[in-house]
Structure 1
Amino acid sequence: MPFEQMFAVRKQLQKGAALMQLELAAGVEPVNGRIHIEKINAPFLSKNGYKGTGAEFGAGIRYAVEKGWLDLHESGTYVRLLSGGDHTIALSATT
């Protein structure tokens, strides 16, 4: 597989993980505007949930931050859904 195709597939996988995480985050009631990372991490990695891997989780979070959908606190303990990002558009495209 040519490099360009591998890069495109990798981006699609990152986007898919990010969309799953956005879906999870949207279902969590924020505390002081914060969504604790374990509220997204646990169901994402769970065998009864999305069955994702740690690498997929990290790639998805990075992708969502890069796209302006999530703000990850420097401590890594919580995220915020950003209203200025197009995460609502991204989520509506998945339904």
Structure 2
Amino acid sequence: MSKFVEARPYAQPEAAAKRLLEICKQVLPVQDGRIHIEKINYPFLFRDHGTTAEYRAGLDLLIKRNLLLLHESGTYVQILQPDDSLLG
């Protein structure tokens, strides 16, 4: 039987989280180390062709492991720990 669907590079939350953290490190933060959320979601969704589910799973994992802080408004994130060794 042939395979019709290719494997997605960000299907695992750890892979998506790692890519999101890489994108965050490339973005120049504004006031107080804030990174506007659109500066990370646009590259992940449109340049890397990740899905919204992959994006959310990666973002949730980064927040859960205290690598990123998502502001309650959802407009920006802050890198708490730039080391991605906690991703596994």
Which bracket does the TM-score occupy, shorter chain normalised? Answer: 0.7 to 0.9
* Aligned 8 A contact 1:41 1:57 in 2: yes
Q: Which residue of 1 aligns with 2:83?
A: 88
* Aligned residue among 70, 77, 82 for 2:75: 77
Flag as ranges the 4+ runs of structure 1 deviating above 4 A.
none
Secondary structure class of the residue paired with 2:69: strand
* Aligned 8 A contact 1:71 1:79 in 2: yes
Q: Which residue of 1 aligns with 2:7?
A: none
Q: Does 1:16 align with 2:15?
A: yes
Q: Which residue of 2 aligns with 1:42?
A: 42
User: Could you tell me how far 1:90 is from its partner in structure 2?
Assistant: 2.9
Taking the aligned partners of 2:23 and 2:84, their CA distance within structure 1 comes to: 15
CA RMSD of aligned residues (A): 1.9
Q: Which residue of 1 aligns with 2:50?
A: 52
User: Could you tell me how far 1:88 is from its partner in structure 2?
Assistant: 1.4
TM-score using structure 2 length: 0.78
Q: Which runs of 5+ in 2 are unaligned?
A: 1-10
Q: Which residue of 1 aligns with 2:6?
A: none
Q: Which runs of 5+ in 1 are unaligned?
A: 1-11
TM-score using structure 1 length: 0.73
Q: Which residue of 1 aligns with 2:4?
A: none
Structure that is richer in helix per residue: 1
User: Could you tell me how far 1:64 is from its partner in structure 2?
Assistant: 0.2
Read off the aligned partner of 2:62 and give its amino acid letter.
A
Taking the aligned partners of 2:74 and 2:56, their CA distance within structure 1 comes to: 11
